[in-house]
Amino acid sequence: MLGIGFFVVFVGLWGAVTYGGVVPPLFLASPGQALLAGVALFTEYGFIHDIGMTVWRVLGGFGLAAVVAVPLGLAMGAYKGVEAFFEPFISFARYLPASAFIPLLILWAGVGEAQKLSVIILGSVFQIVIMVAVIAGATRIDLVEAAYTLGARSSGILRRVIIPAAAPQVMEALRLVLGWAWTYVIVAELIGAQSGIGHMIMDSQRLLDTGQMIFGIVVIGIIGLVTDFLFKALNRRLFRWAALA
Amino acid sequence: MTLTIRAVTRTFPGQGKTGPTLALQPTDLDVAPGEFVSILGPSGCGKSTLLRIVAGLDRPSGGSVALDGRGVTAPGPERGMVFQSYTLFPWLTVRQNIEFGLRERKLPEAEVRAVSDKFIARTGLRGFEDHWPRQLSGGMQQRTALARALANDPAVLLLDEPFGALDHQTRELMQELLLEVWGADSPEARKTVLFVTHDIDEAIFLANRVLVMSARPGRVKAEVAVPLPYPRDWTVKTTPVFAELKARLMAEIREEVRKAALA
């Protein structure tokens, strides 16, 4: 309840400065205008299609990144040799801002879906690798030793100890990176896109429609909140043991 | 299986400015099949190091360990171990933990089930099969760890202060349980056990032979046979034989504990 309270305060302040005339509507639409703009977006401009495109790009890019990054991260955490080989490069690569690659990616991949996905992949893959490697590397050594004394070999240690031990935290890391993927997709859509929430926001700027822009931003926030909630619920279901004190 | 330890030593390399530490002086030990040997010593005397070397989790700096004449250099399922820390896999239930080693050997499902049933019953875990480790008390977790080690049918059972973190009453119950489970096999089929502890009562109560280790760098400084017949229950702790053994071991160990405390 306290959490909802601040939303109310926030919208209240927003309403006060806009309805009160402190900020002219040209720069900031009132909550009512934003809501009306939102209705128009859905009924007249097919905004649901933009949302669908953006969601698909995020999930596609993030999914591809995770499919590559999680196994690599686990291998790095489990085997010192693999870590020594990849770690320096990935530590370097993860500081490269994904958005700085957008011009280059447009040159390589055009302005189509491949470019949008590439931005998200570039932005998430190295982060996931490093986080998963750290998690897998921190597997309790006494559990690994216990597995050895029960006859497990190297492959069994990875499959039956390191992976299940790391799984809940890996899912948490993915949840975090998914949030970042949302910022990358919008950045990618601001430049050279024909659809998507970011594209709509860009279009609205040309029309000086702050109501639509704000509504678009709020929609991103809501989708983020919902995916976060779903991710958490999934983790609780999958890893009931980890939730125990 | 006969366990043979010959001139095993362990030196830990120095870190930074500190030089290398000798943890274990050359140690010899022969353990016959079915023997229950307690290794008693003050903290940091190298008794756990010796056990870890037998388990294959640590490498000796010198000397060798052999089972029936075959050298041991890596961990293996014929040497089961129970640790002082709680090492159940938290993502597996009690039953799944007990079945871990059996599944590693890819035994048929029916056999896996039959073995886990047997050890769940023997260690008094009925009704807790589907609990997760974090839902269990320390005593119940160590019961599961014992069942997990035994389900693998090891020739040698290595116990590294398995009851060290339990309260006194639970610990005494667990000692009796351990003897009960170990004694359930016929004398010829009993496991060879190495039990590391710093508790004198526990060492005597369980073993047919107690080794006393010196303060660091550890070595076996005394060996005392325990002429109490199995099966034993808690009442042997009140017998004159027990009291006499305890007095003797206490004299041996006091000196080492003092040295360890001053070191």
Say how far apart CA B254 and CA B260 lie, in whole Å: 10
Contacts with B57 from chain A: Cβ below 8 Å = 145, 148-149
Contacts with A153 from chain B: Cβ below 8 Å = 104
Which ranges of chain A does DSSP label H, i.e. alpha helix?
2-19, 31-44, 47-78, 80-93, 102-109, 113-137, 141-149, 154-157, 163-190, 197-206, 210-238, 240-243
Mapped onto helix, strand or coil, the DSSP state of residue A113 is: helix
What is the percent of chain A with per-residue pLDDT over 90, rounded to a whole number?
Answer: 49
Using pLDDT thresholds of 50, 70 and 90, give the confidence band for residue A43: confident
Question: With contact defined as beta carbons under 8 Å apart, do A201 and A213 qualify?
Answer: yes
Contacts with B149 from chain A: Cβ below 8 Å = 149-150
The per-residue pLDDT of chain B, averaged, comes to: 92
Say how far apart CA B86 and CA B139 lie, in whole Å: 10
Q: Which of B193, B220, B225, B191 is nearest to B209 (CA)?
A: B225
Using pLDDT thresholds of 50, 70 and 90, give the confidence band for residue A131: very high
Residue A193 is classified by DSSP as: -
The torsion angles phi and psi of B163, rounded to 5 degrees, stand at -105, 10
The per-residue pLDDT of chain A, averaged, comes to: 90
Chain A residue closest to B84 (CA)? A142
pLDDT value at residue A245: 65
Say how far apart CA B38 and CA B43 lie, in whole Å: 15
B96 touching chain A per CB within 8 A: no
Contacts with B191 from chain A: Cβ below 8 Å = none
Contact between B89 and A164 using a beta-carbon 8 Å cutoff: yes
How is chain B split into domains, by residue range?
1-10+21-78+154-243+259-263, 90-153
Q: Write the CB contacts of A177 (distance below 8 Å, at least 6 apart in sequence).
A: A62, A65, A124, A127, A128, A131
Question: With contact defined as beta carbons under 8 Å apart, do B60 and B8 qualify?
Answer: yes
How do residues B124-180 score in pLDDT, each as one tens digit?
A: 999 999 999 999 999 999 999 999 999 999 999 999 999 998 999 999 999 999 999
Chain A residue closest to B133 (CA)? A241
What count of CB pairs under 8 Å joins A to B?
75
Question: With contact defined as beta carbons under 8 Å apart, do B26 and B7 qualify?
Answer: yes
Chain A residue closest to B57 (CA)? A145
Instruction: Using CB atoms, pick whichever of B83, B90, B105 lies closest to residue A151.
Output: B105
pLDDT value at residue B84: 92
Chain A residue closest to B55 (CA)? A149
B85 touching chain A per CB within 8 A: yes
How do residues A191-234 score in pLDDT, each as one tens digit?
A: 878 888 988 988 888 888 888 888 999 999 999 899 999 999 99
Using pLDDT thresholds of 50, 70 and 90, give the confidence band for residue A136: very high
How do residues A8-39 score in pLDDT, each as one tens digit?
A: 999 999 989 888 888 888 888 888 888 888 88
B132 touching chain A per CB within 8 A: yes
Say how far apart CA B218 and CA B234 lie, in whole Å: 31
B62 touching chain A per CB within 8 A: no
Contact between B57 and A151 using a beta-carbon 8 Å cutoff: no
Chain A residue closest to B58 (CA)? A145
Contact between B87 and A241 using a beta-carbon 8 Å cutoff: no
Say how far apart CA A80 and CA A76 lie, in whole Å: 7
- Of B12 and B257, which is predicted with more confidence? B12
pLDDT value at residue B17: 79
Residue B228 is classified by DSSP as: P
pLDDT value at residue B178: 95
Contact between B152 and A245 using a beta-carbon 8 Å cutoff: no
Would you give the distance in Å from CA A190 to the centre of its chain? 17
ipTM attached to this prediction: 0.93
pLDDT value at residue B263: 67
Say how far apart CA A135 and CA A137 lie, in whole Å: 5
Quick count: other Cβ atoms within 10 Å of Cβ B9? 20
Mean pLDDT check: name the lowest of A104-118, A134-148, B71-85, B154-168: A104-118
How is chain A split into domains, by residue range?
48-200+220-238
Query: How far is CA B253 from each of CA A112, A153, A233, B196, B218, rounded to the nearest angstrom?
Result: 78, 39, 55, 14, 12
B107 touching chain A per CB within 8 A: no
- The mean pLDDT value for B43-58 works out to 92
Chain B residue closest to A239 (CA)? B91
How do residues B70-94 score in pLDDT, each as one tens digit?
A: 999 999 999 999 999 999 999 999 9
- The mean pLDDT value for B9-26 works out to 87
B119 touching chain A per CB within 8 A: no
Contact between B77 and A161 using a beta-carbon 8 Å cutoff: no
Fold of B1-10+21-78+154-243+259-263: Rossmann fold (3.40.50)
- CA distance, residue B124 to nearest chain A CA (Å): 21
Position B44 pLDDT exceeds 90: no
B23 touching chain A per CB within 8 A: no
Query: How far is CA A123 from each of CA A94, A134, B26, rounded to the nearest angstrom?
Result: 8, 18, 57
Contact between B80 and A240 using a beta-carbon 8 Å cutoff: no
* The listed CATH number (2.60.40.1260, 1.10.287.130, 1.10.3720.10, 3.10.450.240) that belongs to domain A48-200+220-238: 1.10.3720.10
